[in-house]
Structure 1
Amino acid sequence: MAKDSDPSRPNIVYLMADDQNFGSVGIYGNTEVQTPNMDKLGEDGIVFDRHYNTTAICMASRGNVFTGMYEYKTGTNFGHGHMSQEVWSKSYPVLLREAGYATAFAGKFGIEITGLGFDGSQFFDSWGGGPVQTNYETKKNKSMAKYAKEYPHSTVSYGAFGQDFIRDAVKQDKPFCLSISFKAPHRPTTPDPQFDHIYAGKKFTKPANYGRENGTHLSEQSKQGRQYARFTEWGYDKNYDKVMATYYQQIYAIDVALGMIREELEKQGVADNTVVIYTSDNGFLCGSHGYGSKVLPLEEAARAPLMIFDPRSPSAGKKIRSSALTGNIDFAPTMLELAGATIPENMDGVSLVPLLEEPNKDLREQLSFINVFGPDATKSLTVLTKDVKYTYWWYGNDKMEPTEELFHLGKDPQEMNNLAKNPEAASLLNTMRKKYDSQLSIWEKEAIVGSRYQTYPTLFDRNIPLEEKDFNRGKQDPNKR
């Protein structure tokens, strides 16, 4: 441990992939992938098996992470608005810096702050971030261009950025927070060629719920967006092995970058006082149920890997897993508690620090999943507990009617049996409907005033007939994607 380190104010490293699902990591049960550094992080710390992104699309998810709030309070998603400076002022990077932390950010910033655009450089001591999607060519990312000669592909360049910041930060007499948002494995599929050999010629086992034949029981609404078309457009139907090899190769490069960062923590003598968090902004469907991409409330899109290692914790090194229900809104309060800073009352998330001490406990009864991106039909609200997921699909026309989906994830993790019309599940359905109505009521009270988010409680209300709902409410501008 470095001489000036303070165990009560640990360093924090927050690493987030883009579009990495929970099934892409060895420690989550996939024996066909190589993720040695992710697996080691999970073995050193805690693996979270019920971690969800409360909105499964990049801009909105990043808004959730930065602020610890649900989307209807951040006001941030494609076609819905930018983040106001007032909301941003209570984000974890701002509050940690105010608390005396040296802060750094690299990668896909992903949100636009009103009046400031995608440039968050003024809020960090070290900046390697970029606008919109950023680029896989390091030289095309202005803030990272200095790494281009040695690291021409951006994924590993972020590992080098992290190493440099750690070296600089330990020279200062204060703790640090390093945040990196990798572009990988987001499309376009551009893997680092130095890792072409990792999965060359590899064959992969398809998940048990793979293919269109395993999606016939799902709502027609969920099949109206681009997620349905991308099963064929992106080659999951005919080129599964090739598509997945590319996907996993991109993730392998992140694993290398993670290893670089952890190695530097050791080298600089601060590993024993640095909390490392690894996750993804959302999952990825990868052919499950005959869908591609993300956005939908299905497990493969909404769930993501999460490993947290706190070397000071009694759980460290014990290969522990937690089944607690956690969400991306929990990262901001977690980091603030780790830093000994005050958690703002506006945050919807809860700190995960208690789980580092007692992994078997639960912190919440339910969590919500929001989708207001894409066509009207796919917009929905989902509520879930550790074992049960309920979605109300509000949209209807001459080809489909509003419908419900109810899955008992504890018994049916592949979401193959919709219990909504099963008489034996009537009591469970009623319970989940009440949870849904309660969450929708909170949304209605707390949505940003004057925003499009104020329109959705009416659209998503189970008790208002479809003919009384205005289909123009909540419309998305198709030019803003």
Structure 2
Amino acid sequence: MNGTGWGLVLLCGTVFLSQGQAAETSRKNIVFILADDQRNDVLGCYGNDLIQTPTIDQLASNGVRFENFFCETPICSASRATLISGLSQRTHGYNFGEPAVDANYIPTSYPAYLKASGYRTGFTGKYGFRFSKNDRKQQFDFFKPYDRNPYLKKMPDGSLRHETDLCADAAIEFIKGNPKGQPFCLSVSFNASHAEDSDLRPGFHFQWPESTDGLYEEITLPSPKLGDDKYFEALPGFLKDEGELSRARYFWRWDTPEKYQVNLRAYFRMITGIDNAVARILAELKTQGLDQNTVVVYTGDNGFLMADRGLAGKWNHYDQSLHVPFIVYDPALPEHKRGRVVTELGTHLDVAPTIVEWAGLSKPAVYQGRSLVGLVEDGLVADWPQEVYCEHKFKRYNNWYGVRGKRYKYAVYYEEPDGPYECLYDLEKDPAEVANLAANPEYADVRKDMVRRLDAYLNAFPEASGKPDNKE
């Protein structure tokens, strides 16, 4: 490929991005793509040699890939509220069974904020949370939600079409309908690769689109990276309970070799199906002549345990629940800045500030993260945080909050019957998070420092009252 144009090249039936410069005189278009239940290492560009994700891999090789990116909260509904609002779960307060996000935060949600500045805003897929007032018209010019249950939707002609493909259809419809010269921000929020919780049959529990039928069928997939019994034995006692959410769902999905192989193949097909859908969206950008000024972002809403530690799902403090992919393709990046890997820590709190800066707007004061634009463009930002704040509050799980740095991780399950349960790991010596050092006197100073860092976030992020007074 040459560097004179940002085109789309068809290679083996897959759409790839080539390189070039964005028009400097117009505001950037933004396509934000979100997968469900996808941790970082289930993409080829993150080192997975078995998964087929050529389109997303090409975004990374022609863009910037973040090596240490984490969700703020490892559950879909609260995570999506964080992404759109720019607020921690602690502050927006949302999860299943909790009050809606205060409607006072609608104007600073990135879709509403960009829409008010002249952007055309669109959304398709899984929205996953709600504000305390009807917010759709204030946030979006185009809104086509799709969810699973079932994934395969019956069409007017009687055929079945997968949610992933319907999301791509809607994205293409939005792109085709965009008025010439108007900047846009499109959010594509796939429900895949979330399991179909209402159907526990192996191979149906993870329902893939037609485009990936038969894929991976001849492959024997490797055992989970952390599948040895020692990882289960190292869990806090309350996470070993067979009635506990992530343990119970292990028996839904992964507890026999046969079930593990069938379900993991199906899960991989869902991810490749997303890759195919992304290729279609990128092709439409090219067809409409919008490719040279459109930033494309790809991430996941939270991580995912695929039998690691004898668990399923997410929800806990381990990296398998928190570590997500984050890839940015900006056609304005010069050749020598493409294909870089950023090692600074990032979090979903940084997404809304980043989108707002790409739109040329000032960051709302309520946002709790920092823009990633400097890391994307230059690779260096002064005084970048040395840790990220993560948390999870859910009525059906053990509640915790913590901080994750490059060397150490500290988390506290703060509502346990016998008092707070602390976790401290030296990630340099113990990347699998097996040896809990919270009570180790040799790490007393480290623990003290991590407690200080956590307290700083708890003090800086106001806690939601749980009683928004602006309901409709």
Q: Residue 24 of structure 1: CA displacement?
A: 0.8
Mapped pair 1:230 → 2:249: yes
1:159: Cα distance to partner?
1.6
Aligned to 1:197, which of 190, 206, 214? 214
After superposition, the CA RMSD in angstroms is: 2.5
For 1:28, the aligned partner's letter is: Y
In the TM superposition, residue 74 of structure 1 has moved relative to its aligned partner by 1.3
Q: Distance in 2 between matches of 1:410 and 1:164?
A: 47
Cα-to-partner distance string for 1:24-69 (whole Å, 9 max, x where unaligned): 1111111011111111111111111111111111111011000111
1:35 to 41, 45, 53: 53
Q: Please name the residue that 2:392 is paired with.
A: 371
User: Matches of 1:327 and 1:433 in 2, distance apart?
Assistant: 19
Write the letter of the residue equivalent to 2:29: N
Q: 2:177 aligns with which of 168, 176, 179?
A: 168
Aligned to 1:23, what secondary structure does the other structure show?
Answer: coil
Pick aligned residue for 2:300 from 280, 284, 296: 280
Q: Partners in 1 of 2:117 and 2:126 — Cα distance?
A: 24
Is the contact made by 1:110 and 1:133 (CA closer than 8 Å) also made in structure 2? no
C-alpha deviations, 1:408-467, integer Å up to 9, x for none?
A: 223332222322233332221221121122223334xx1123559xxxxxxxxxxxxxxx
Cα distance per residue 1:253-290 (max 9 Å; x no partner)? 10001111111222222212110000011111111111
Is 1:18–1:280's contact at 8 Å kept on the other side of the alignment?
A: yes
Does residue 433 of structure 1 match 2:454?
no
The structure-2 alpha-carbon separation of the partners of 1:124 and 1:415, relative to structure 1 and needing over 3 Å to count, comes to same
Q: Which deviates the most, 404-413 or 37-46?
A: 404-413
- Deviation string, structure 1 residues 304-362 (Cα, Å, up to 9, x no partner): 11101111123676321111111111111101100011211000011110011222557
In the aligned structure 1, how far is the partner of 2:441 from the partner of 2:55? 47
State the number of aligned residues: 437
Structure with greater proportional strand content: 2
1:392: which partner in 2? 412
What secondary structure sits across from 1:48 in the alignment?
strand
Distance 1:409 1:311 in 2: 35
**How many angstroms apart in 2 are the aligned matches of 1:74 and 1:42?**
31
Alpha-carbon spacing, 1:250–1:405, altered in 2? closer, same or farther (3 Å): same
Which amino acid in 2 is paired with 1:210?
G
Secondary structure class of the residue paired with 2:177: helix
Say yes or no: does 1:184 pair with 2:200. no
Question: What secondary structure is seen at the aligned counterpart in 1 of 2:115?
Answer: helix
Q: Aligned equivalents of 1:110 and 1:316: distance in 2?
A: 39
Name the CA distance, whole Å, in 2 between partners of 1:380 and 1:449: 18
C-alpha distance in 2 between matches for 1:115 and 1:98: 18
| Paired letter, 1:180 | V
Q: Are residues 24 and 236 of structure 1, via their aligned partners in 2, closer, same or farther at CA, if it must alter by over 3 Å?
A: farther
Do the aligned partners of 2:93 and 2:466 also contact (CA within 8 Å) in 1? no
CA gap of 1:383–1:451, structure 2 versus 1, over 3 A, is: farther
Q: 2:199 aligns to what? A: none
Runs ≥4 in structure 1, deviation > 4 angstroms?
4-8, 132-135, 148-151
Of residues 280, 284, 295 in structure 2, which corresponds to 1:264?
284
Residue among 461, 465, 470 paired with 1:449: 465
Residue range with higher mean Cα deviation, 382-391 or 47-56? 382-391
* 1:284–1:371 Cα change, 3 Å: same
The answer to which of 4-13 and 241-250 deviates more is 4-13
SS at match of 2:403: strand
For each residue in 1:373-430, what CA deviation from the matched residue of structure 2 results, as whole angstroms up to 9, or x when unmatched? Answer: 1446x11111112232101123444xx6633211122333222232223333222122
Larger deviation, residues 358-367 vs 344-353: 358-367
Residues 288, 450 of structure 1: alpha-carbon distance in 2 compared, 3 angstrom cutoff? closer
Matches within 5 A, 1:54-453: 54-116=72-134, 120=136, 123-130=139-146, 135-139=150-154, 152-169=161-178, 171-188=179-196, 189-224=206-241, 225-238=244-257, 239-314=259-334, 318-361=338-381, 363-375=384-396, 378-397=398-417, 402-443=420-461, 446-449=462-465, 451=467
- Supply the distance in 2 between the matched residues of 1:314 and 1:388 (Cα, whole angstroms): 35
| Structure 2: distance between partners of 1:309 and 1:150 | 35
Range moving further from structure 2, 92-101 or 230-239: 230-239
Aligned-partner SS, 1:276 = strand
* Residue identity in the other structure for 1:94: A
CA change 1:331–1:57 in 2 (3 A) is same
Amino acid at match of 1:88: I
Contact kept? 1:323, 1:360, Cα under 8 Å: no
Inter-CA distance 247–29: structure 2 relative to 1 (3 Å threshold): same
Judged with a 3 Å threshold, the aligned counterparts in structure 2 of structure 1 residues 167 and 95 are, in CA distance, closer, same or farther, namely same
- Are the counterparts in 1 of residues 254 and 306 from structure 2 also a CA contact under 8 Å? no
Instruction: Look up the equivalent residue of 1:318 and give its one-letter code.
Output: R
2: CA distance, partners of 1:330 / 1:133 = 28
Distance of 1:215 and 1:155 partners within structure 2: 34
Report the 3-state secondary structure (helix = DSSP H, G, I; strand = E; otherwise coil) of the residue aligned with 1:166: helix
Contact 2:97–2:395 (CA under 8 A) maintained in structure 1: no
Inter-partner Cα distance in structure 2 for 1:179 and 1:316: 29
- How far 1:215 moved relative to its partner? 2.3
Summarize the Cα distance change of 1:208–1:134 in structure 2 as closer, same or farther, 3 Å threshold: closer
Deviation for aligned residue 1:100: 0.8
Residues 1:258 and 1:77: Cα distance change in structure 2 (over 3 Å): same
Matches of 1:10 and 1:203, distance apart in 2: 44
**5+ unaligned residues in a row in structure 2: which ranges?**
7-21, 197-205
